[in-house]
Structure formats: structure tokens, C-alpha cells
């Protein structure tokens, strides 16, 4: 079901160029978008904020392309995913000593900005996944999107999303068991 408030705000931005309406959308969605980037970048808050800013600017400049066939949040996350994908591609064209398979994910360190043991644990756990698996897992288990919505966001076939989720969950389950989370 489409969110009427979002549609109303998007209409005000697209038709009237109302920046206050866009400000309301930013306030509403800044948390899920920044959280998505935090999980993709291993908790790099500066990079996450920069990517989130790019996402919202792209959303503002292309808001007339939003047709309302999907939720605004799904459309916004699709932009966020594309921004992240473009960033990874740009980074990978430059020579890096790190393992390419991990994308731009920087494994969390104990001395970093941390933000609590929970966040550290989640980022450590996510570090064992491949970028696509990580994206699918976070979109489903943290942001609560369905497989159909994840397929729309990432532009992957549903079967591919399911296999990424399955492999990712298997790796995570093994990781959690190995680290004693089962007993908590």
C-alpha cells in the first residue's frame, strides 16, 4: 500500500518545487538511508553521510521520474543502491591493496568511532559477506524489505536475490555459532 503522506510530499516537491516538503522527506528517510550506507561501508559515518547526501540530491533532481508505482522508500533505496554501486565501481578503478571481493567495506576496528558493541558486532558479522549478499541481507533483515522489493532496488532477478540471501544467512549462522551467539 502506498504511503499517502509521501505521495503528497513528493507531489508538492515535483509540482510546486516546495523545498520544505523535501526537507520533511529528508528528515523522515535520513535514518534508513544513512543506516543502509553505514552497513555497506562497515560503519564509516563520514562516507555514509556523503553517499546519503548524493542520494538525496539525486532524488531531488529526479523526483519527477517517481511514478508512484512503488513505495517512495523503495524508489529512494534504489537510488541509494545505485549511488553506492557507482561509488564502488569508481573506487575499484583505482589501484587498491585490499581484497577486491570485499568492495569498499572497511572491517571495523576496536579503536574506531565504534558506537556500541551491537554495531561493532553487526559490522564484524557483515564483513564476512560478499557485497551483494551484504546488501540483500541488510535490506531484508534490517530495513524489512521483501524479496520483490529487494529485486526492484538492486535490479536483480528474484532468484538471484534469494540465492544471495540463502548463502548470506548460511555464512552468518555459521559465524554466529562459531562466536558463541547461539548461547546468548
Partner 1 sequence: MNENDNKLIEQFFREAATQQVEDNGFSQRMMMAVNEELSAVGRKRKVSVQWLSCMWTVFCIAAALVVFFLSQGWQVLISYASMLLTNVEVFLCTVPTLFDLSQLTTPSILVTVGEALLAFIVMMILSIIGLTRWASQQV
Residue ranges that bind partner 1, judged by CB under 8 A: 19, 22-23, 26-27, 30-31, 34-35, 38-39, 49, 52-53, 56-57, 60-61, 118-119, 121-122, 125, 141-144, 166, 169-170, 172-173, 176-177, 181-182
* Nearest to partner 1 of 13, 104 (CB atom): 13
CB 43 within 8 A of CB 112: yes
Shortest spacing between CB 148 and partner 1, in angstroms:
19
Nearer to partner 1, 113 or 155 (CB): 113
Question: By C-beta, is 17 or 155 nearer to partner 1?
Answer: 17
152: how many CB neighbours lie within 10 A of its CB? 21
Least spacing, CB of residue 100 vs partner 1, in Å: 26
For the beta carbon of residue 63, count every other beta carbon within 10 angstroms.
Answer: 20
Closest distance to partner 1 from the beta carbon of 92 (Å): 26
Q: How far is CA 94 from CA 18, 100, 131, in A?
A: 39, 11, 18
Pick between residue 65 and residue 96 the one whose CB is nearest to partner 1: 65
Cβ at position 27, least distance to partner 1 in Å = 5
Instruction: Report yes or no: 60 and 13 within 8 Å, Cβ to Cβ.
Output: yes
- Please, which residue, 23 or 91, has the CB nearer to partner 1? 23
How far apart are alpha carbons 148 and 145 in whole angstroms? 8
> Please, which residue, 22 or 75, has the CB nearer to partner 1?
22
DSSP 139: I
Under a CB-based contact definition with an 8 Å cutoff, are residues 136 and 167 in contact?
no
Smallest gap from Cβ 164 to partner 1, in A, equals 13
DSSP state of 180: T
Give min distance, CB of 36 to partner 1, in A: 10
For residues 49 and 42, is the Cβ–Cβ distance under 8 A? no
Amino acid at each position: 500500500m502506498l504511503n499517502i503522506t509521501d505521495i503528497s510530499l513528493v507531489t508538492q516537491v515535483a509540482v510546486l518545487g516546495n523545498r520544505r516538503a523535501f526537507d520533511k522527506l529528508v528528515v523522515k528517510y535520513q535514518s534508513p538511508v544513512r543506516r543502509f550506507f553505514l552497513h555497506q561501508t562497515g560503519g564509516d559515518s563520514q562516507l555514509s553521510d556523503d553517499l546519503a547526501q548524493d542520494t538525496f540530491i539525486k532524488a531531488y533532481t529526479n523526483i519527477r521520474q517517481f511514478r508512484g508505482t512503488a513505495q517512495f522508500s523503495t524508489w529512494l533505496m534504489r537510488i541509494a543502491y545505485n549511488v553506492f554501486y557507482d561509488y564502488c565501481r569508481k573506487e575499484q578503478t583505482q589501484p587498491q591493496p585490499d581484497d577486491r571481493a570485499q568492495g569498499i567495506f572497511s572491517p571495523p576496528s576496536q579503536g574506531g568511532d565504534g558506537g556500541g558493541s551491537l554495531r561493532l558486532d553487526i559490522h564484524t558479522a557483515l564483513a564476512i559477506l560478499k557485497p551483494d549478499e551484504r546488501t540483500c541481507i541488510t535490506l531484508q533483515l534490517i530495513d524489512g524489505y521483501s524479496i520483490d522489493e529487494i529485486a526492484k532496488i538492486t535490479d536483480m532477478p528474484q532468484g538471484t536475490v534469494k540465492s544471495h540471501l540463502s548463502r548470506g544467512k548460511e555464512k552468518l549462522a555459521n559465524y554466529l555459532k562459531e562466536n558463541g551467539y547461539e548461547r546468548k
